[in-house]
Structure 1
Amino acid sequence: MTESENLLEEIFEKFGTAFERIPESSTPHEKTPDYLVPIGDEMSYWEVKERDSNEDEEAISNPVDMGVSETYSVNSQRIRNSIKSACEQFKNYRVTDSPCVIVVYDARPFSTKDLLFYPEIKAAMLGDAEFMASNNGVIKEISRKMHC
């Protein structure tokens, strides 16, 4: 289990929330959500995504840790990719009419945090919108590309 899964289970236990760990799929490339959590009379499905440093981010954070460099903003689409991956896991598990929750845990050092983390989450959840401003000042949405 990952650090983020352990932390989530601690939170569930602290608040007396019932949960069941969903066994990993034995089928290659067919991942399952991590948890089944009852909410009232319904079941909800939870997927935990933990963001660890990748090779490029570690190359940035090592000099920062030694006091040689300053904080660096990593502007990546990794968070969108994580959310998209979680959506696929829900679809593969055939979850269609139940609430789905994606828990994102950013375990990277502060020196390589993505300063656009929250806007990336919003874009992953709500899609990318394009707007048009008319001559009379009215702004309207003309398209939206969804990621899940």
Structure 2
Amino acid sequence: MTESEEDTIRLFNDIKVNLFRVPEGAEQTPDFFVETDNQKIFIEVKEINENEEEKGLLSEIDKKERVSGYDSCEIGKRFRSSIQTANKQLKKSCTSNEAGLVIIQDVRHFFTRSCMPQEEIKLAMFGDRVTWLSVNTGKIKADLFAKNKTTTDKKNTTTSAVGLMIKNIQDDSLTLHIYHNPYAKTLLISPVFESTKVFEYRINATKEYDNFEIQ
């Protein structure tokens, strides 16, 4: 069991929601499911670990106590692959209007962990941000979500929402931030989980650049 799966179990114990493990079979299926008063939700948990480049960075820091230089990968790239893979697994079980929730936890070291995870989630879902400026005035002419979308009306519609699980580095407490997918074939019914440890967000525009708003 991964660190993120263990943390998911602990989080749901904290918010007093019964979490059930999906039996493993020949095919890859979601990790868990819950049944609320409103709907059944399948959950796939994804964990972001250091890649080889990031491991090399940490090794350099351990040996030299400094780093010569580091360029992180494009914003949203690591989260994007997690959403795509999770959607395939959710699709195996979400066959009768069940909702699908992807929970992502970034468990990388402080030096390699995302410093703006909400923006990572947003760009992973709706596409890279592209801003057009006027040559003459310098004013913004267009601010758009562009390529590399993972959630559209035709792609990954089994994913009802993407959840970001965050662990407090001081006391190990956990919170879950749920970002609703407006293109989902089955929408999550709010409030998904009634708890002070769970936060929900929705976005109004997915063509022009926009921000999630807390509900």
Q: AA paired with 2:4?
A: S
Query: Does the CA contact (< 8 Å) of 1:74 and 1:115 recur in 2?
Result: no
Q: Output the CA distance in 2 between the equivalents of 1:122 and 1:88.
A: 20
Larger helix share, 1 or 2: 1
Listed as ranges, the gaps of 5+ residues in structure 1 are: none
Q: Alignment partner of 2:111: what SS?
A: helix
Listed as ranges, the gaps of 5+ residues in structure 2 are: 134-139, 151-155, 157-215
Q: 1:131 to 1:61 in 2, by over 3 A?
A: closer
Aligned partner of 1:64 among 53, 61, 81: 61
Q: Output the CA distance in 1 between the equivalents of 2:35 and 2:130.
A: 38
Q: CA deviation at 1:87?
A: 1.1
Percent of matched pairs sharing the same residue: 28
Query: Does the CA contact (< 8 Å) of 1:131 and 1:140 recur in 2?
Result: yes
Q: Normalising by structure 2, report the TM-score.
A: 0.56
Q: Alignment partner of 1:44: what SS?
A: strand
Q: CA deviation at 1:127?
A: 3.7
Q: Output the CA distance in 2 between the equivalents of 1:74 and 1:145.
A: 17
Number of matched residues? 143
Q: CA deviation at 1:104?
A: 0.9
Q: Normalising by structure 1, report the TM-score.
A: 0.77
Query: Does the CA contact (< 8 Å) of 1:33 and 1:47 recur in 2?
Result: yes
Aligned partner of 1:44 among 30, 41, 50: 41
Structure 1 match to 2:118: 118
Q: Alignment partner of 1:87: what SS?
A: helix
Q: Give matches, 1:67-106, under 5 Å.
A: 67-69=65-67, 72-76=70-74, 77-95=77-95, 97-106=97-106
Q: Alignment partner of 1:112: what SS?
A: coil
> Relative contact order: is structure 1 or structure 2 higher (C-alpha 8 Å, sep ≥ 6)?
1
